[in-house]
Structure 1
Amino acid sequence: MDERIRELELHHRIKNNLQIINSLINLQSENFDDEDVINAFRDTQNRVSSMSLVHQKLYQSQELNNLSLNGYIKDLAENLNDIYGGNNTKINVDVQDFHLGIDTIIPLGMIVNEIISNSLKYAFSDDDNGIINIEFNSNKCYVLIIEDNGKGIPDNIDIENPGTLGLQLINTLVKQLNGEIELERKSGTKFIIRF
């Protein structure tokens, strides 16, 4: 068996195992009636789905060590909008088609997952026409910008020491990429991540 076939099989198995984990989480969530607990399970499922999507894309890719970021981010944003976008939210994706290794794309995808999920859940009321923009480019470093035109993150939330799991996870993943994060709170929320 050549190396390419082994790698394809590995990504296929990882994707399948992550889907099994997702199913187990779903089954476990059915034992609870508390809406907060059910939402926590759903958020965990979405994090696992974000990782599973990477392996699915790698399995389908011609270049096993690299994944097209543009297609991955578009699919991820579309999946999240299907799950959380009960309002009229539009997600615009302007991502240069870099090919990044799996050690970069998994944390990057999870960062996108967390920020977009939070925007879709908290930034807009039901009758808002929300807009979320995702940009990714490179000049001297990689720059990810995610912004929305929603109500914004409250001033009392410190991005460096957040009390929420989502923001803590974002900070941890940015550090994993040896990056830095900046938050702007003008007319919505804007995350700028450089690494």
Structure 2
Amino acid sequence: MSELQHRVKNNLQHVISILEIQKESADFNNIEELIRGNQNRIHSMALLHKKLNVSDNVNDVDLKKYITELSEIVKESYSNHKKNITLIVKCELENISIDKALPLGLITVELISNSIKHAFKNKKIGLIRIEITKDKTTKLYYADNGIGFDFNKISEIGLGQEIIKGLIDQLDGKIETDSSNGFELTVEF
């Protein structure tokens, strides 16, 4: 129980840090979007702790269930009945440590949010694919068939990108991206 409480405290500190960063660049024209984004980040952490509470092991998480449920929560939070966005989640890993699950969950939240907000602006139908595989290393593959986005372009860096890059650093991950056919990002850790 004490381990779980310690993790909750650390995760709430993450939320506070994100809110502090956002406070610096807050624009009252996008306040609804800021609130929705933070709600999704908090959902990510709450779902993770819910999974830990029902498990006998407070150190491991059923990654497939966590990422699948979390992805659906984020998609529904941006529900737009004018757009049909299909979400495909595949995960080869059964369990993963909470230290890896939290950054993966938050990366997933940021990527799906960015795709739904930006990638399908001029499209009525979209596809988001998330795959987590394990060979010698663990890989998170994320793709959408939207308008494409250069993840490494300095002039386009926003808070979501900064958060994603910081979380990838927490995983000691390496990034590969491709924007020739929508947006693709692979994180190897």
Q: Aligned equivalents of 1:65 and 1:160: distance in 2? A: 37
Q: Distance in 2 between matches of 1:108 and 1:163?
A: 20
TM-score (norm 2): 0.82
Q: 1:88 aligned to 84, 88, 103, which one? A: 84
Say whether 1:138 aligns with 2:138: no
Give the number of the structure whose alpha-carbon radius of gyration is greater.
1
- What is the Cα deviation at residue 121 of structure 1? 1.1
1:50 corresponds to: 44
1:64 offset after TM fit, Å?
2.3
The aligned counterpart of 2:23 is: none
Deviation at 1:8, TM superposition (A): 8.9
3-state secondary structure, aligned to 1:82: helix
Aligned partners of 2:162, 2:156: CA distance in 1, in Å? 6
Contact 1:160 1:171 in 2 (8 A): no
Gaps (5+ residues) in structure 2?
20-26
Residue 162 (structure 1) shift: 5.3
Q: Does the C-alpha gap of structure 1 residues 137 and 160 become closer, same or farther in structure 2, counting only changes over 3 Å?
A: farther
Q: What pairs with 1:63-82 in structure 2 (closer than 5 Å)?
A: 63-82=57-76
Q: Detail structure 1 runs of 4+ shifted over 4 Å in the superposition.
A: 159-162
Superposition TM-score, scaled by structure 1 size = 0.79
Q: Percent identity?
A: 36
Match in the other structure for 1:166: 160
- Over 3 Å counting, the alpha-carbon distance change for 1:9 and 1:142 in structure 2 is closer
Cα deviation 1:77-119 (Å, max 9, x = unaligned): 1101111141210100111133111111111111111111111
TM-superposed deviation, 1:40: 1.3
Residues in 2 aligned to 1:48 and 1:110: alpha-carbon distance in whole angstroms: 9
Q: Which amino acid aligns with 1:72?
A: Y
Give the partner amino acid of 2:126: G
Distance 1:162 1:122, change over 3 A: closer
Q: Deviations over 1:3-61 (max 9, x none)?
A: xxx369749x949x96xx8xxx9xxxxxxx94412211221221122111110111122
Aligned residues: 176
Alignment of 1:83-162 (within 5 A): 83-86=77-80, 87-125=83-121, 127-153=123-149, 155=150, 158=152
What secondary structure, in the 3-state scheme, does the structure 1 residue paired with 2:125 have? coil
Q: In the alignment, which residue of structure 2 is the partner of 1:184?
A: 178
Amino acid at match of 1:143: K
Q: What CA RMSD, in Å, does the superposition of the two structures yield over aligned residues?
A: 2.8
CA contact (8 A) 1:8 1:59 kept: no
Q: AA paired with 1:125?
A: K
**Separation in 1, partners of 2:38, 2:4:** 25
